């Protein structure tokens, strides 16, 4: 992508030139009277005082203007521009002076009078042209003068090398966009038949699933310019800036049609209106309104296609999805196993991958990973490989990168006391056993008591093997049991407990509360949603309305949450108690090796003590 800075420099030059021209013209104009200091009132005064020896009136033929040449008693010559010759004649006669000479001046003089105005006009015209060109060339927006300029980055057709081949998986999505590409390439084909091509497409999906990539690929395939801007760029501290940036962006786009305008994170501007705390007429709303006006403003087949991306359709203003605006929605989801394998293949292409690497297997064990996660995974593996001076990425490198991406880098350097290590070992062993014995969670990928970059003393990482759309009640209950396993193990082994389980407890509580208030999974509360998952966006609305349920319901919810947690706790205690021997051996092994793999862990269950 290219940001153009040349325009700023040129802009500066233009302002200097403008100031110079104004100063020169002012000088030139004032050279006739004001600069010599001689004015009409001074002249009248001189007349009354009898200071004037002779006056020559030079009158223009076509217009009533002219000038005076005045000789004063002290011999000095003054000249004076006059706007009405007749008036000055009357004035002189009134003051008893009729001895003046009257000369008709020719056309040149008349031109001379107009010349300054022509100059000003010409200068302004030139300035206008230059500024206009500047605006076209300059998309970056400078410092001072360019507040209202859009911040869009422009990738011209030559710069944009992204093609559909770079986007792995997403087959249906690409097919749907194929049509847009075709239209941009050959608008005539569609307009001839009176077909209406959508003006706006909304790409919806979690972060990192390839929305930006997809939009860019459409522009790349169609060989048209790609304007990209983020919704948050519109929202600035100065009122009105957002709206003027939108206007400017669409002007640029019109000049470059056919083209694609891509608005990332559109939710930053297009949140439902009327939900702001301060009554609603805020900056964001103005920006959104301007955007709607612009989208309604250009014709259907003008060759501008606006694509926008968001991961939160639920908070978008319904107005933007009306026909003629973003009336097509393309859902870009997390990739499935095959999609993940394809994405890994795309990103492995430019990396030296060792013989032993099985990308299919990597794809199988990365359920829930987005394209960006997978790209990151291979990149981390490459970094690890490079750091150790090896030429090829191996499967163990990818394993290590997997932990880094999933958990955060391990910090071997932090010093931990033996006691702390022991507690952590039992805590993690507790989680691991429950992952293993409960049917719907796990299996365990790695258990470690090496502190992580995120501040945890250790971790138990399950293998994300399943692609699942829904979470079931049974599985959620099991997750809560697993969460509590760390604390339960601590209790069983030590007579004291630590704060190490606070995160686990928070997670378990959150899950239990969601089950009760969002998913209708409790026994006494029923199928009622008591939780609005819209976050701070709707503070305004939530304050305006009541909480939505009574104190009685609040108490019932709390009781229900407590019951779920209590049961899970008992279950965890029972299961870990049953596998007390594994717990001891697992903790022992952890203290020895600090990190154990799935195979090592699972063999602990087989090796029954003699």
| Binding site residues, Mg ion, CB under 5 A | 212
If the CB atoms of residues 330 and 568 are measured against Zn ion, the closer one turns out to be: 568
Q: Pick one of Mg ion, Zn ion, ligand ADP, none as the site partner of residue 198 (Cβ within 5 to 8 A by kind).
A: none
517 touches ligand ADP (CB under 6 A): no
Q: Cβ 401 to Mg ion, closest distance in Å?
A: 22
If the CB atoms of residues 308 and 384 are measured against Mg ion, the closer one turns out to be: 308
For residue 155, list its beta bridge partners. Answer: 226
If the CB atoms of residues 80 and 155 are measured against ligand ADP, the closer one turns out to be: 155
Q: Cβ 500 to Zn ion, closest distance in Å?
A: 7
* Edge-to-edge strand ranges of the sheet holding 328-331: 153-155, 226-230, 259-264, 304-310, 200-204, 328-331
Across 153-258, where does the E strand assignment appear? 153-155, 200-204, 226-230
372 touches ligand ADP (CB under 6 A): yes
204 touches ligand ADP (CB under 6 A): no
Question: Helices in 312-455 by DSSP H: which ranges?
Answer: 337-348, 359-364, 371-387, 395-407, 418-437
Residue from 225, 231, 303, 371 that binds ligand ADP (CB under 6 A)?
371
294 is catalytic: no
CA gap 381, 348 in Å, rounded: 11
Task: Measure Cα distances from 524 to 511, 516, 548, 549, 560 in Å.
Answer: 17, 9, 18, 15, 7
242 touches Zn ion (CB under 5 A): no
* Catalytic-role residue among 428, 479, 490, 560: 428
Q: Cβ 366 to Zn ion, closest distance in Å?
A: 23
218 touches ligand ADP (CB under 6 A): no
If the CB atoms of residues 167 and 589 are measured against ligand ADP, the closer one turns out to be: 167
Q: Cβ 412 to Zn ion, closest distance in Å?
A: 20
169 touches ligand ADP (CB under 6 A): yes
Judged by CB under 5 A, how many residues of this single chain contact Zn ion?
2
HSE-CB for 220 with a 13 A CA cutoff: 17
Q: Cβ 166 to ligand ADP, closest distance in Å?
A: 6
For residue 316, list its beta bridge partners. Answer: 271
Calculate ∠ Cα 360-366-370, nearest 5°. 110
HSE-CB for 69 with a 13 A CA cutoff: 8
Residue 385 token pair: 């490989």
283 touches Zn ion (CB under 5 A): no
How big is the chain, counted in residues? 610
Residue from 139, 212, 256, 287 that binds ligand ADP (CB under 6 A)?
212
Q: Which of 302, 202, 295 is nearest to 256 (CA)?
A: 302
Q: Pick one of Zn ion, Mg ion, ligand ADP, none as the site partner of residue 504 (Cβ within 5 to 8 A by kind).
A: Zn ion
486 touches Zn ion (CB under 5 A): yes
504 touches Zn ion (CB under 5 A): yes
If the CB atoms of residues 375 and 410 are measured against ligand ADP, the closer one turns out to be: 375
If the CB atoms of residues 55 and 305 are measured against Mg ion, the closer one turns out to be: 305
Q: Cβ 314 to ligand ADP, closest distance in Å?
A: 17
479 touches Zn ion (CB under 5 A): no
Listed in sequence order, the residues at least 6 apart from 201 whose beta carbon sits closer than 8 Å to its beta carbon are 177, 180, 305, 306, 307, 308, 326, 328, 329, 330
Q: Is 104 exposed, middle or buried (0-12, 13-18, 19+ CB in 10 A)?
A: exposed
Calculate ∠ Cα 447-587-493, nearest 5°. 125
209 touches ligand ADP (CB under 6 A): yes
Q: Pick one of Mg ion, Zn ion, ligand ADP, none as the site partner of residue 66 (Cβ within 5 to 8 A by kind).
A: none
Residues labelled catalytic: 428
Q: Which residues bind Zn ion (CB under 5 A)?
A: 486, 504
Q: Which residues bind ligand ADP (CB under 6 A)?
A: 167-170, 205, 207-213, 309, 343, 346, 371-372, 375
């Amino acid at each position: 992508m290219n940001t153009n800075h040349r325009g700023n420099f040129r802009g500066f030059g233009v302002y200097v030139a403008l100031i110079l021209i104004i100063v020169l013209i002012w000088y030139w104009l004032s050279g006739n009277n004001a600069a010599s200091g001689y004015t009409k009132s001074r002249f009248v005064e001189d007349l009354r005082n009898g200071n004037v020896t002779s006056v020559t009136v030079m009158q223009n033929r076509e217009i009533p203007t002219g000038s005076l040449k005045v000789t004063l008693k002290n011999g000095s010559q003054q000249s004076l521009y006059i706007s009405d010759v007749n008036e000055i004649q009357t004035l002189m006669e009134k003051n008893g002076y009729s001895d003046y000479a009257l000369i008709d001046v020719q056309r040149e003089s008349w031109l001379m009078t107009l010349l300054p105005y022509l100059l000003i006009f010409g200068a302004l015209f030139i300035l206008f042209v230059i500024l206009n060109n500047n605006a076209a060339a300059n998309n970056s927006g400078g410092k001072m003068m360019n507040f209202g300029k859009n911040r869009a980055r422009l990738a011209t057709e030559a710069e944009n090398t992204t093609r559909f081949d770079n986007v792995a998986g997403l087959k249906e999505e690409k097919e749907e966009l194929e049509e847009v590409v075709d239209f941009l390439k050959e608008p005539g084909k569609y307009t001839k038949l009176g077909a209406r091509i959508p003006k706006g497409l909304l790409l919806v999906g979690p972060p990192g699933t390839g929305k930006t990539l997809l939009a860019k690929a459409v522009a790349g395939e169609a060989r048209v310019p790609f304007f990209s801007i983020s919704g948050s760029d519109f929202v600035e501290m100065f009122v009105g800036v957002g709206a003027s940036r939108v206007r400017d962006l669409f002007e640029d786009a019109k000049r470059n049609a056919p083209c694609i305008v891509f608005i990332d994170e559109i939710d930053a501007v297009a949140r439902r209106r009327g939900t702001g705390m301060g009554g609603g007429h805020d900056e964001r709303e103005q920006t959104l309104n301007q955007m709607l006006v612009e989208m309604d403003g250009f014709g259907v087949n003008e060759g501008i296609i606006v694509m926008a991306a968001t991961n939160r359709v639920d908070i978008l203003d319904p107005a933007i999805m009306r026909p003629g605006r973003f009336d097509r929605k393309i859902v870009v989801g997390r990739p499935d196993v095959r999609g993940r394998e394809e994405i890994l293949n795309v990103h492995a292409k430019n990396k030296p991958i060792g013989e032993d690497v099985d990308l299919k297997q990597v794809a199988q064990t990365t359920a829930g990973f987005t394209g960006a996660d997978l790209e990151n995974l291979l990149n981390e593996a490459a970094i690890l490989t490079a750091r150790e001076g090896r030429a090829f990425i191996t499967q163990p490198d990818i394993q290590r990168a997997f932990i880094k991406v999933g958990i955060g880098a391990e910090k071997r350097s932090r010093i931990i006391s033996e006691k702390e290590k022991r507690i952590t070992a039992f805590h993690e062993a507790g989680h691991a056993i429950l992952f293993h014995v409960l049917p719907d969670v796990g299996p365990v990928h790695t258990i470690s008591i090496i502190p992580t970059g995120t501040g945890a003393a250790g971790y138990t990482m399950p293998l994300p093997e399943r692609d699942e759309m829904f979470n079931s009640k049974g599985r959620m209950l099991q997750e809560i049991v697993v969460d509590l396993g760390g604390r339960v193990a601590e209790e069983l082994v030590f007579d004291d407990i630590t704060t190490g389980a606070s995160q686990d407890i928070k997670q378990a509580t959150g899950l239990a509360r969601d089950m009760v208030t969002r998913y209708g999974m409790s026994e006494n509360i029923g199928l009622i949603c008591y939780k609005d998952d819209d976050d701070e966006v709707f503070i305004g609305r939530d304050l305006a309305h009541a909480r939505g349920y009574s104190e009685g319901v609040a108490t019932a919810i709390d009781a229900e949450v407590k019951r779920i947690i209590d049961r899970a706790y008992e279950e965890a205690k029972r299961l870990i108690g049953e596998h007390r021997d594994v717990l001891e051996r697992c903790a022992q092994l952890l203290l020895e090796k600090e990190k154990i793999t799935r195979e090592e862990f699972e063999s602990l269950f087989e090796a029954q003590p003699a």
